[in-house]
A and B are shown apart, each in its own frame.
Chain A
Amino acid sequence: MTADAAPDLPANQESGGIAPPVHKAPRDDPFEELFMNEYGRVVAAANRVLDDRGEAEDVAQEVFLDFHRRHRADARFAGAWLYRAAVHTSLNRLRSRRRREKRELTQALAERPAPLEDPAHVVEVAEDRATVRQALTRLRPKAAAVLILRYSGLSYAEVGAALQVGTGQVGTLLRRAEQALKKELELGTPV
């Protein structure tokens, strides 16, 4: 198999991934620089869990505030810490929402973009997304985290750093997590 023949990598802009941070000229405030570099990716990770951009931005703000209280902006682990905290915080929010599925359905119906769109299809899409989110909450935390981070566009090295595992372990973890999620979606039983 050659690189040219390889299938698409999982994360891309169309599926909600966000490109790696663009390192612009340094700012006077290291925290502001960290924020500008990482905010998009932290939101992307939270959005991957929550499927709600507004709430994902809430999570990102909470996570950055938390980081600011605890650590120096130039800490080497800043990005890894932020991604990991975003995933945990988002999963916690998701778990605490028993009626999220119902709200998503209501929201999807209210926000459907075109009047000619088939309402049944809108409901189906929203239900599918809600099912996936619920399945994520039933996975082991590390399995959920590796899926969320990888499919949000983080490299193996970044995922490894965030989860405190070696880069070489990420592929195996990802493969197992994909199988676990598939099983959850097919059977609807805890993994």
Chain B
Amino acid sequence: MYDEPLAIPDSARGHYASCASCQARFTQIAGDARQVSDAMAVPAATVDAAAAYRSLKPKLQPRPRFVLRLPSFSGGFVRRGALVTGLAAVLVLGAALSPVAQTFRDIFAPTQVQTVPLSTGSFAGFPDLSHWGTVSVTQQPELKQADSASAAAATTKLPIIKPGNLPAGLPAAQYATLSTGSGSFTFSKQKADAYAASQGAKAPQLPSNLDGSRLDATIGPAEAAIYGGDLSAAAQPGSKNDTGSSDHSDLLPKLAIGISKAPHVTSTGASVKDIENAVATQPGVSPELKKAILSIGDPSHTLPIPVIEGMTVTDTTTLKDGTKATFVGDNSGTLGGVIFIRGGNVYVVAGAYTESTLVAIANTL
């Protein structure tokens, strides 16, 4: 009544006029509000928005790409849906940043999650794999809606998503599946040299077994339960935006739960160390990104989650069954996600909730 007087109905006004108790309460509230208003007062901040925009404009960069670009992947499924995009970014980046194995038989099989703090500049400067070799997609993953959690589980052969401790007021879940996708990357010394020359840099010395060495990566299958948002609109093939990035923030669900088979990568020759060194020493890779790549202690078994310093908060926690989980949150407190690996599958619980709420849900999966 004090703060929004025009919103008060006539009946309340009539009651107020004859109620000493309400009048006393109003006086108290009005007094408090005046005191706080005085306390909160600051000199008016007159701003020149046009000048401020001119100052900001040179700093605007294309939004970061969270994947080392596998062209057909980004053109196909990465743009479809916020949750799937998030999952795909984690998985593709994990596969691309954490290669791989000593021989063809060895695999990249992550069993743990590790955050890798990077600055925004490093994200924007992520190198393009096609500079160093040939990328091809051998199996395009396909996104489909599913009728139920059990139908999604039956399609993907993954555990059924049956969460508990869900916050009140959530809309009914929509379900989606992503079929297995696979692709390969073949190193080319010739391409790497040409790219280095185009950057005005000398090509780094690469191990002899790297040239022609092939990485085969497989991701998925995956399934997701999505609460809120607009999955059908997000999944429209033409819904990509004009920047080519995978932003569907206005379609974001309140909560999304995803399970994906952990990605794996095989190599025909290059060792983990060869590949780490090759990536880290390429021109265009910042010292910070190089340090981040080399900081992954056990790249064969670690799924790296890149986070932007200063824009995110991270935390680690242990679920009831002893599984280590990583929380990554938006620094505005708007969004967060809990990520963990169990039984060869990557789990993500993400949404507009606090860490404790998301962990409570994760504990029921």
A interface residues, Cβ below 8 angstroms from B? 1-3, 6-10, 13-18, 31-32, 35-36, 39-40, 43-44, 47-48, 51, 53, 56-57, 60-61, 64-66, 68-72, 74-77, 81, 84-85, 88-89, 92, 128-129, 132, 141, 147-148, 150-151, 156, 164, 171, 174-175, 178-179, 181-182, 185
Contacts and interface: CB of A to CB of B under 8 A. Distances in A.
B21 interface: no
Contact of B47 (A32, A39, A92, A150): A39
30 contacts: A1-B16, A1-B26, A8-B37, A10-B33, A16-B44, A18-B44, A31-B60, A35-B49, A36-B49, A40-B45, A43-B47, A44-B45, A53-B47, A56-B45, A61-B52, A69-B64, A69-B311, A70-B63, A71-B249, A74-B250, A75-B249, A77-B249, A84-B332, A84-B333, A85-B331, A132-B39, A164-B352, A175-B29, A178-B33, A178-B36
Interface string B243-258: 0000101100000000
Nearest to B245: A72
A89 B40 CA distance: 18
Contacts of A174: 3
A39 B53 contact: yes
Interface string B52-80: 11011001110110000000000000000
Contacts of B45: 16, 18, 40, 43-44, 47, 53, 56-57
A77 B333 contact: no
A75 B250 contact: yes
A84 B37 CA distance: 20
Contact of A69 (B3, B40, B63, B334): B63
A60 B45 CA distance: 12
B36 to A, nearest CB: 5
Contact of A129 (B1, B17, B42, B53): B42
Contact of A14 (B44, B46, B61, B241): B44
The 9 closest A-B pairs by CB, nearest first: A6-B5, A15-B41, A16-B42, A85-B332, A47-B45, A39-B49, A71-B249, A53-B45, A75-B250
Contacts of A68: 60, 63
B53 A32 contact: yes
Nearest to B13: A1
Contacts, number: 151
A43 B4 CA distance: 24
Contacts of A9: 3
Nearest to B17: A1
A84 to B, nearest CB: 5
A19 B53 CA distance: 19
Contacts of A53: 43, 45-47
Contacts of B30: 7
B34 interface: yes
B3 A10 contact: yes
Given A35-B56, A69-B120, 14 more contacts: A7-B33, A10-B33, A32-B53, A43-B45, A44-B45, A48-B40, A61-B52, A61-B55, A69-B64, A70-B63, A72-B249, A75-B249, A171-B4, A175-B32
B47 to A, nearest CB: 5
Nearest to A64: B56
Interface in B8-31: 8, 13, 16-17, 26, 29-30
Contact of B250 (A32, A48, A72, A89): A72
A125 B45 CA distance: 18
B239 to A, nearest CB: 12
Contacts of B120: 69
A94 to B, nearest CB: 13
Contacts of B247: 70-72
B40 A15 contact: yes
B55 A178 contact: no
Nearest to A69: B63
A112 to B, nearest CB: 13
B6 interface: yes
